[in-house]
């Protein structure tokens, strides 16, 4: 087996956007529903496409709620976003070793690119598939397949890393090795039920897993 292509989720995997997402939802529900919600309540829909969540929560004001959410994110992006430990170093190393890297995210491309640029990561990724590239989203395999097609790869040559059940299922549905990060904001019982191939405790461990797979 030879791994050549590495697909990363963005939110919660490479970048810590948890507080940004949670505060954005809380602000939106406060504005449109006069409703206070807990962090745990919001975590239940983590990884889901924004429109799907807000269509369920704000049936009568979906477009307005989406606009409120996105405006809050734009205004508070730099204040609330951070990068997970080891991400920049490992991503740079993988790129320099010749691996082809992609971001597969449920975030809009413009917003995802802003996050990558904020931490000077954008040049390491050959491809990015965002929410505006397809109307079929994780856990559907389409976004992962689109990324591989854009890079000229096959599922057998790839591994996909994420932090939610949506990421694990997307990889599995596409026939790609799945890995979940233990720094996910979700409790392990939420994602372990989907039986990812690997659980990684650090970005350095991801490198070890890829090297192990390439020795098989």
Positions marked active-site = 9
Of the candidates 74, 79, 71, 11, the one whose C-alpha atom is nearest the C-alpha of residue 46 is 11
CA 190, distance to chain mean position in Å, is 16
Of the candidates 118, 127, 119, 141, the one whose C-alpha atom is nearest the C-alpha of residue 95 is 127
> Left if phi > 0, otherwise alpha if psi is -120 to 50, otherwise beta: which for 104?
beta
Beta-carbon contacts of residue 106 (< 8 Å; ≥ 6 apart): 11, 47, 48, 49, 50, 130, 131, 137, 138, 166
CA 142, distance to chain mean position in Å, is 15
CA 88, distance to chain mean position in Å, is 16
3-class secondary structure, 129: strand
């Amino acid at each position: 087996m030879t791994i050549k292509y590495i697909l990363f989720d963005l939110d919660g995997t490479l970048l810590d956007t948890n507080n940004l997402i949670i505060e954005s939802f809380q602000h939106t529900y406060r504005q449109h529903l006069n409703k206070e919600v807990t962090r745990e309540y919001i975590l239940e829909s983590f990884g889901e496409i924004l429109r799907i969540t807000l269509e369920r929560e704000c049936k009568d004001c979906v477009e307005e709620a989406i606009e409120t959410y996105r405006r809050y994110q734009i205004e508070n992006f730099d204040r609330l976003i951070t990068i997970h430990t080891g991400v920049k170093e490992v991503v740079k190393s993988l790129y320099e070793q010749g691996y082809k890297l992609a971001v597969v995210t449920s975030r809009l491309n413009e917003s995802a690119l802003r996050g990558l640029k904020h931490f000077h990561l954008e040049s390491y990724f050959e491809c990015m598939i965002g929410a505006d590239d397809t109307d079929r989203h994780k856990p559907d395999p389409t976004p992962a397949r689109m990324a591989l097609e854009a890079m000229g790869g096959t599922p057998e040559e790839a591994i996909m890393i994420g932090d939610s059940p949506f990421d694990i299922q997307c990889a599995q549905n596409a026939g790609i090795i799945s890995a979940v990060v233990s720094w996910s904001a979700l409790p392990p019982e939420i994602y372990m039920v989907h039986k990812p191939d690997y659980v990684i405790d650090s970005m350095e461990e991801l490198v070890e897993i890829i090297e192990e797979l390439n020795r098989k």
